[in-house]
Structures are given as structure tokens and as C-alpha cells.
């Protein structure tokens, strides 16, 4: 999770055409200060025939100030949306319509990332809100094309992904979450 400016178009945009009962942008801004929001984090990976993780996909984005950041696929779960549908929607939004993600059969996440608006309470930080994010490793089989708000999608080996340079470009504790994902799949370096 990065700063509001980066994320706002992505998170808010798809709400505007929702039926009555869905939150307006103002309402969600208000809720963000009063309730924990439900999020999903997806770590896109390529796997070999035996399921072993070969590479990890990280999105590249530019902040307003021109810094390059790297991010996992991440976003809010909407009212009346299943976790698995939220995963599909956010992966399609970030990796394009033919990424062919293999959403896990089980809802058990590998961890729960608790993003607090106050740094230091957990490993995760989001100045905008308190988000409780269910984190999944999601193999993708198809062609991934970074979408509008991303400059690129880089596929890195587990070794490359946990290099100090790459981790330093991640925000809000997603560097920790990435390493947890690699730990979970037995590829912690």
C-alpha cells in the first residue's frame, strides 16, 4: 500500500458506477477513519511444473514526486464481494484480462497483514487507513500486461526480489509481506 495519491484512482474509481448502497468517495473517506477495511494482497508468481516458484511479479509505479516504487497487487474488498472475486478483480485490474490467475482453492491466507495508520504497531503501515489484508500467493499462467497506473511489471527471481535495492522500493511494509510470501512457499533466501 502506497500513498493515497497513487492508490486513489484505482481503489475509488470502480465504485462510481455501483448500484445504490455502495459507498461514495466521501463516505469511504469517512469510513477510513473509523473502521478497519477489508483488503486483499496478492503476490503474483510464476511456477514450474512441480509448483515451485520461479519468479515473482512486482508492479512498478511512479509517485507524484517522481520516485519509482514497487508494489504487490492490493486492493479493497467491496460490499457483497467474495474474497476470491476481489482477488480476481484486483489481479485483472493490475495485470490485465489475460493473466489467467490461479486463485487458491482455500480461503486460508498465508498471513494477515494489518496495515495501521500509525507506524510501528505492526510491520505494515498505511497512512490513509487501518486495513486488514488477507494475503495470498497467486500463480498466474497467462500474459500479464501492466495497466494504466503502472509503468511496468517486473518478473524477478526470489533471489532478485529480496535484494536490498528491490525491497527498498517497496512501501508500507510490502517488503516484509513479500518476504513472508517467499517464506511460505519455501523460497526465503
- CB closer to its own copies out of 67 and 82: 82
Binds its own copies by CB under 8 A, chosen from 72, 73, 134, 140:
134
* Cell numbers at 172, concatenated: 508500507
CB 79 within 8 A of CB 21: yes
Closer CB to its own copies, 17 or 108, in the complex = 108
Are 154 and 57 contacting, i.e. CB atoms less than 8 angstroms apart? Answer: yes
Q: How many residues bind its own copies (CB under 8 A)?
A: 61
The footprint of its own copies on residues 17-46 (CB under 8 A) is 21-23, 27-28, 31, 33-38, 45
Task: Give the C-alpha separation, 146 to 118, whole Å.
Answer: 31
Pairing, β 152-156 against β 53-62: antiparallel
96: left (phi over 0), alpha (psi -120 to 50) or beta: left
Q: Distance between CA atoms of 171 and 1, rounded to whole angstroms?
A: 6
Rounded to the nearest whole angstrom, what is the least distance from the CB of residue 10 to its own copies in the complex? 17
* Binding flag, residue 62, its own copies (CB under 8 A): no
Q: Does 169 bind its own copies (CB under 8 A)?
A: no
Signed CA dihedral, 68, 166, 85, 50: sign only: positive
Which residue's entry shows cell 488477507? 134
Asked if residues 60 and 146 have their Cβ atoms less than 8 Å apart, the reply is yes
In this chain, which of 53, 59, 95, 140 binds its own copies, going by CB under 8 A?
53
| Stretch in the footprint of its own copies (CB under 8 A) among 4-12, 121-129, 149-157, 164-172 | 121-129
Rounded to whole angstroms, how far apart are CA atoms 179 and 58?
13
Contact track, its own copies, 78-117, x by CB under 8 A: xxxxxxxx-xx-------------xxxxxxxxxxx-x-xx
**Least distance to its own copies, CB of residue 127, Å:** 13
Binding region for its own copies (CB under 8 A): 21-23, 27-28, 31, 33-38, 45, 47, 49-53, 77-85, 87-88, 102-112, 114, 116-118, 121-123, 130, 132, 134, 137, 139, 176, 179-180, 183-186, 188
Amino acid at each position: 500500500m502506497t500513498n493515497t495519491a497513487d492508490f486513489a484512482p484505482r481503489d475509488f474509481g470502480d465504485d462510481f458506477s455501483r448500484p445504490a448502497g455502495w459507498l461514495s468517495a466521501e463516505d469511504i473517506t469517512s469510513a477510513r477513519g473509523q473502521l478497519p477495511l477489508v483488503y486483499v494482497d496478492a503476490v503474483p508468481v510464476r511456477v514450474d511444473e512441480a509448483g515451485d516458484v520461479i519468479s515473482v511479479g512486482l508492479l512498478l509505479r511512479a509517485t507524484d514526486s517522481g520516485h519509482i516504487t514497487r508494489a504487490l497487487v492490493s486492493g479493497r474488498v467491496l460490499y457483497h464481494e467474495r474474497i476470491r472475486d476481489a482477488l480476481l478483480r484486483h489481479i485483472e485490474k493490475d495485470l490485465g484480462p489475460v493473466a489467467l490467475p490461479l486463485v487458491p482453492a482455500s480461503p486460508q491466507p498465508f498471513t494477515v497483514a494489518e496495515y495501521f495508520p500509525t507506524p510501528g504497531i505492526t510491520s505494515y503501515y498505511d497512512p490513509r487507513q487501518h486495513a486488514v489484508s488477507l494475503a495470498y500467493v497467486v500463480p498466474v499462467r497467462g500474459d500479464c500486461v501492466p495497466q494504466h497506473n503502472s509503468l511496468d511489471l517486473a518478473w524477478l527471481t526470489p533471489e532478485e526480489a529480496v535484494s536490498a535495492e528491490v525491497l527498498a522500493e517497496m512501501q508500507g511494509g510490502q517488503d516484509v509481506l513479500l518476504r513472508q510470501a517467499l517464506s511460505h512457499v519455501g523460497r526465503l533466501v
